[in-house]
Structure 1
């Protein structure tokens, strides 16, 4: 290893920066002679906030601009929420590593503590920016009115606090990473709502020809997480899914093998598999 500096590319949101600094710390622990810099990059998904994700219909909504800088060589590695990274990557790029996975569940935010999906009032209003969540909520509770919400974690929390909505669904990992778990009313078990593919994991993307970045990525890779998210991403890839199709999956390693639970449904929750 001859280089002494590595540049991480990341989105600008607080959660994305938390993830980038987490990877930075892991690299510095493993490779003490390497200096790590972070470059903040705006993506299409960060700029278009008045249209639902399903209507934008771009699988690389939060990754394309970062991948462009990878290919141009202005950054060495890209750090993503793995759930945002398409299963088919641009030519010349590869998913080199995944870090140890955080908790995968979604959580319910409500005006009071200990409120669950079951205990929400009849015809309650619940906010989410995800077709996957909306479909599964409506399958469980057809009476619920689902409203769309966009923005980063803090923005969504502010919107919810100022609203008359009864609930909002977010990922547990994001709230806990940002030390915002006080807002969680209840954790939604995966048998009720399956998470997004790769939810809770951080993906490290590099160019295939960058041997230096590949060696760095290998040093912070978590094999157990790789096995589970690879199964989930294969499931998503087989269905050709993205933000326009409600798809969820969760793989678990057990003593006698790997178990994958999958979900695909209609946006209104009336049809689910």
Structure 2
């Protein structure tokens, strides 16, 4: 390790995708600081999270957001790891006291891919009444909004598990994030993503974030070269939408922000779980150059969307609507 930095461990889940993402961060840290032995300088601490152990029911039934981060948070707070590497779409909007988001890598394509046993598909291409497997309420609602005839069944597990279920039938299709497939080096990652008109991504989908202890200045300095400001600002706005709408696993909502020059374009939507109604809004803002400003932008759009939906959206957010 360099003279200025101690050995710093990275906590991560042990799923193939999580490990691939941790290895990305490890390699970039080593390159940024001239460390020839990445594993010696930045060892990886693999942890099985509560969310990884639950495969037979929706996350909402098991406690919702935070199921994929609790054990990683604890490892940091206990001093076992300097960093925790996360898929940002799994991270709650409010981190535990003593932790902060210090780095966001440049985002990969955030779109969803629809996989069928015969190859890439679209919602329009599926046969009448086709059975889709997903554990995402957002994806369920978006699919039913576009195709009310479709049938939905619970499907959880890693990429290999889902692909095997497609081969075994009777599930006709499932959704996966394009970013995850690309990071795993799977050929499906080169398939076309679904149109955002029907399948707007989850807030912060496709982004990798790294948390640290708030009092760990050395970790903050180590991560600084890896941070991609446009991605960090875009996902801060998306997470602002999530925060305004009290986003949880029981809320079918989506948000996506993208910069064109110095203008941030932000789109957000809320749907009824059965897809029968959708509320979508978009806005643009120039001159956003801090995470706080981006979050405020997202909060304002989320609050406007909440107001636009009125009692119907409030019923969805409180779990009393269908």
TM-score grouping bracket, smaller chain normalisation: over 0.9
Q: Structure 1, residues 198-252: CA drift from partner, whole Å, max 9, x if none?
A: 1111010111001111111212100110111010011101111021111111001
Query: Are residues 1:89 and 2:95 paired?
Result: yes
CA distance in 2, matches of 1:68, 1:31: 27
Q: 1:129 aligns with which of 116, 129, 135?
A: 135
Number of the residue aligned with 2:227: 221
Q: 2:23 aligns with which of 21, 24, 29?
A: 21
1:109, 1:185 within 8 Å by CA — same for their partners in 2?
Answer: no
Q: Structure 1, residues 5-41: CA drift from partner, whole Å, max 9, x if none?
A: 1100000000000000000000011011471100001
Bigger mean CA deviation after superposition, 260-269 or 247-256: 247-256
1:113, 1:184 within 8 Å by CA — same for their partners in 2?
Answer: no
Q: 1:114 to 1:9 in 2, by over 3 A?
A: closer
Matches within 5 A, 1:176-215: 176-182=182-188, 186-215=192-221
CA distance in 1, matches of 2:263, 2:168: 46
TM-score by length of 2: 0.82
Helix, strand or coil at the partner of 1:187: coil
- Answer 1 or 2: higher relative contact order, Cα 8 Å, separation at least 6: 1
2:165, 2:171 within 8 Å by CA — same for their partners in 1?
Answer: no
TM-score by length of 1: 0.96
**RMSD value, Cα:** 1.5
The alignment covers a number of residue pairs equal to: 273
Helix, strand or coil at the partner of 2:193: strand
CA distance in 2, matches of 1:25, 1:160: 34
Query: Are residues 1:62 and 2:68 paired?
Result: yes
Bigger mean CA deviation after superposition, 157-166 or 43-52: 157-166
Helix, strand or coil at the partner of 2:42: strand
CA distance in 1, matches of 2:206, 2:144: 23
Matches within 5 A, 1:109-124: 109-124=115-130
Helix, strand or coil at the partner of 2:119: coil
Number of the residue aligned with 1:6: 8
Helix, strand or coil at the partner of 1:269: coil
Q: 1:166 to 1:28 in 2, by over 3 A?
A: same
- How far residue 185 of structure 1 moved from its aligned partner, in angstroms, is 6.1
Give unpaired runs (5+ residues) of structure 2. 280-322
Helix, strand or coil at the partner of 1:253: strand
Helix, strand or coil at the partner of 1:199: coil
2:182, 2:190 within 8 Å by CA — same for their partners in 1?
Answer: no
CA distance in 2, matches of 1:7, 1:53: 28
1:107, 1:184 within 8 Å by CA — same for their partners in 2?
Answer: no
Number of the residue aligned with 1:72: 78
* Larger helix share, 1 or 2: 2
- How far residue 186 of structure 1 moved from its aligned partner, in angstroms, is 4.5
Give unpaired runs (5+ residues) of structure 1. none
Q: Structure 1, residues 112-144: CA drift from partner, whole Å, max 9, x if none?
A: 235321011111111111001000100000000
Q: 1:267 aligns with which of 273, 287, 298?
A: 273
Bigger mean CA deviation after superposition, 33-42 or 198-207: 33-42
- How far residue 256 of structure 1 moved from its aligned partner, in angstroms, is 5.6
